[in-house]
Structure 1
Amino acid sequence: MALFDLPLEQLETYLPELPEPVDFDEFWAKTLAEQRAHELAARFEPVPNGLATIDTYDVTFHGYGGHPIRGWLQLPAARSGPLPAVVEYLGYGSGRGVPHEKRLWADAGYAHLVMDTRGQGAETPDPDPASGDVAAPGFLTRGILDPYRHFYRRLYTDAVRAVEVVRGHPAVDPGRVAVAGTSQGGGIALAAAGLVPDLAAVLPDVPFLCHFPRATTITDKPPYVEVSQYVKLHREHAGTVPRTLAYFDAASHARRASAPALFSVGLMDHICPPSTVYAAFNHYGALGAAGADKQIHPYPFNDHEGGGPTHEVVKLGWLAERLKTAA
């Protein structure tokens, strides 16, 4: 890989116009209000995990449409008092896996909810209202002609409901909940940060789903290439596609966020190009009353792996400082 995007000094000031629909806020307010008519009905079933330091619970709750969403809740085995929590969203095509795959946050003393991704993991199906529509392989163009039928309307709603689930657990301090994720998970975390006004922190790593107009034209790597593949075949929808995606642009959601934020970016990332990440970072908190508490860590010679374990050390220290807990 090699540097292919803007130079770092230009990335640091890159503030593109975001083509937001005029009813962006109304769309999301209506979506969440409708979905809150469904009870969360959260269930936490203890499961053996073979670990001496972490207790694991198999989680099921009602997400978009009242559909059952799966997850894991990991708690430190030795705990006292309400815990700060991290809700983690997953990368493109990933499911929740098995409990011992993700234990960093519970090992550090947090309650950790790992949300399965509808239609992408092995355990949470996606009853798709757009299943009869034509789409490119993947998820970006599912329901692409109508934002009310788009895949990410359902997934972003699940993400908000996951925050509500963890806040309702007796082991969790509802005032100290952070959201996190890598790639698709980072984009979902930004959407959740824009849709949930009182989060304690957000940690998006190499976030996907940001600044669609540039992302879909600067890289030919999947998943963004799904959009160009669709429009290449369906030229008549070249105007409709960007209008639909604008409702799900994580950079627009980032403008509405107010929680402290820690981003990471790989400057050789051809999957989530650095300019799209900086678009979200530079716009982050723009609609707030005061300057946002935000940081970004660039990794100049890294691709989509970003900072990897090195950045995990940064995240542990940063989040401990924000949530006043020992890392």
Structure 2
Amino acid sequence: MPLIDLPLDKLITYEGRNPRPDDFDAYWERAIAEMKAIDPQIELRPSEFQVPFAECFDLYFTGVKGARIYNKYIRPKQATTPHPAIVQFHGYSANSGDWSDKIQYAALGYSFFSMDCRGQGGLSEDVGHVKGTTFSGHIIRGLDDHPDQLLFRDIFLDTAQLAGIAMNMPEVDPERVGAMGGSQGGALTIACAALEPRINRLAPVYPFLSDYKRVWEMDLATGAYHELKEYFRRHDPQRKWAEETFTKLGYIDIQFLAERIQGEVLLAVGLSDTTCPPSTQFAAYNKIKSKKQYEIYPDFGHEGLPGFTDKTLQFMLGL
């Protein structure tokens, strides 16, 4: 197995390189207060896609800054009430995907929610209104403006708001809600469970958006993280303000949210992952204080991990 990062005995103690803003906690408490003050104006529309054992809905709600956020919602027809639910998040630039890859949870008697991230490949709105560059990626969106304008701040809040909406559905048991997703979806799973700590179980797969400075120092600011390199090349070519930039990115670094998680965690990591390096994933995992475990795939990178979908389903049966 080629070693592209730290050996496992070092990964399990690694604490991260990115600086944490001094007012990080106040920043997120202010953000949560803003989210909770919103009238979500929830709208349910029956979807064109339907199956005999469940009802499928297009669900819209209003998030921070007024954006309308789209979600797929599948509700089992023959299930106890209240019953468990799952919220799911997709990879960077994609969307919530097909209905048919979610209905197994409805067949088990679970409600299932899957969110389109604002401004990416689905139907959710990106309301914009930021100063400075919006070119080449969402990590740097708002980086030249006030920290409250960072786009991933709003996306993180959308995940928590969706979880709260799911928990308030009369058919859902609010103490039995889980979260799942891979890559960006893994990052959003962690952010969701941090900002809505009632999430009972979470299964992030190779989470993105963690320990930005480590990615940069490893010269892996390519692919999903390429916008970091492009930002410095275009806006700070001599890297005079690198520390200030990484500190600002610290507001949307999931490793600093991870300590808020109260639910049980199942993490999957490929040790050959050059898209989201293993050390960046463990920077977040090692800060989680709740019950947790990881599954290691030594020869796998940022790709399908054999058997982990089944492990996730079995894990979520514990809700």
**TM-score bracket, shorter-length normalisation:** over 0.9
For the residue of structure 1 that corresponds to 2:317, the secondary structure is helix
CA drift at 1:136: 4.1
What does 1:248-327 align with in structure 2 at a 5 Å threshold?
Answer: 248-285=252-289, 292-308=290-306, 310-321=307-318, 323=319
* Cα distance, 1:18 vs structure 2: 5.3
Q: CA deviation at 1:231?
A: 0.9
One-letter amino acid of the structure 2 residue matched with residue 106 of structure 1 = A
State the Cα distance separating 1:37 from its structure 2 match: 2.0
Does 2:203 align with 1:203?
A: yes
5+ residue gaps, structure 1: 286-291
CA distance in 1, matches of 2:292, 2:198: 16
Which stretches of structure 1, 4 residues or longer, exceed 4 Å deviation after superposition?
none
Q: Is the 8 A contact 2:222 2:229 kept in 1?
A: no
Alignment match of 2:250 (pick from 231, 246, 249): 246
| Cα separation, partners in 2 of 1:264 and 1:32, compared to 1, 3 Å | same
Task: Name 1:60's counterpart in structure 2.
Answer: 60
Which secondary structure does the structure 1 equivalent of 2:224 belong to? coil
In structure 2, give the amino acid aligned to 1:175.
Answer: E
SS at match of 1:134: coil
Distance 1:269 1:306 in 2: 11
Alignment pair present for 1:227 and 2:225: no
Paired residue secondary structure (2:25): helix
Q: Does 1:133 align with 2:137?
A: no
Whichever residue aligns with residue 276 of structure 2, its letter is C
* Superposed counterparts of 1:143-158, under 5 Å: 143-145=142-144, 146-158=146-158
Worse-matched range after superposition: 152-161 or 74-83: 74-83
Does the CA-based 8 Å contact 2:75-2:110 persist in structure 1?
yes
Query: CA 1:315/1:122 → structure 2, altered by over 3 Å: closer, same or farther?
Result: closer
Give secondary structure in 1 for the equivalent of 2:138: coil
CA contact (8 A) 1:42 1:62 kept: yes
Question: 1:108 offset after TM fit, Å?
Answer: 3.3
Change beyond 3 A, Cα 1:104–1:209: farther
Give the Å deviation of 1:175: 1.3
* Per-residue Cα deviation, 1:3-41 (whole angstroms, up to 9, x for no partner): 311112221222336522121111111112123222122
Work out the CA distance in 2 between the residues paired with 1:177 and 1:307: 24
Query: What one-letter code is carried by the residue in structure 2 that aligns with 1:228?
Result: K
2: CA distance, partners of 1:201 / 1:223 = 27
CA RMSD of aligned residues (A): 1.8
Contact 2:17 2:211 in 1 (8 A): no
**SS of equivalent to 2:286:** helix
Does the residue aligned with 1:283 lie in a helix, a strand or coil?
coil
**3-state SS of the aligned residue for 2:178?**
strand
* Residue 179 of structure 1: how far off its partner (Å): 1.4
1:92 and 2:96 matched? no
Q: Output the CA distance in 2 between the equivalents of 1:94 and 1:232.
A: 26
CA contact (8 A) 2:18 2:247 kept: no
How many Å separate the matches in 1 of 2:243 and 2:12? 30
Deviation, structure 1 residue 100 = 2.1
Q: What residue in structure 1 maps to residue 80 of structure 2? A: 80
The match for 1:289 is none
SS in structure 2 opposite 1:59?
A: strand
SS at match of 2:169: coil
TM-score scaled to structure 1, two decimals? 0.90
SS at structure 1 position matched to 2:6? coil
1:143/1:151 contact within 8 Å kept: yes
**How much does 1:319 deviate?**
2.0
User: 1:6 & 1:16 partners in 2: Cα distance?
Assistant: 12
Bigger drift between 256-265 and 299-308 goes to 299-308
Taking the aligned partners of 1:136 and 1:57, their CA distance within structure 2 comes to: 34
Identity, % of aligned positions = 32
Unaligned runs of 5+ in 2: none
Q: 2:300 corresponds to which letter in structure 1? A: N
Instruction: Tell me the CA shift for residue 268 of structure 1.
Output: 0.9
Counterpart CA distance in 1 for 2:276 and 2:16 is 16
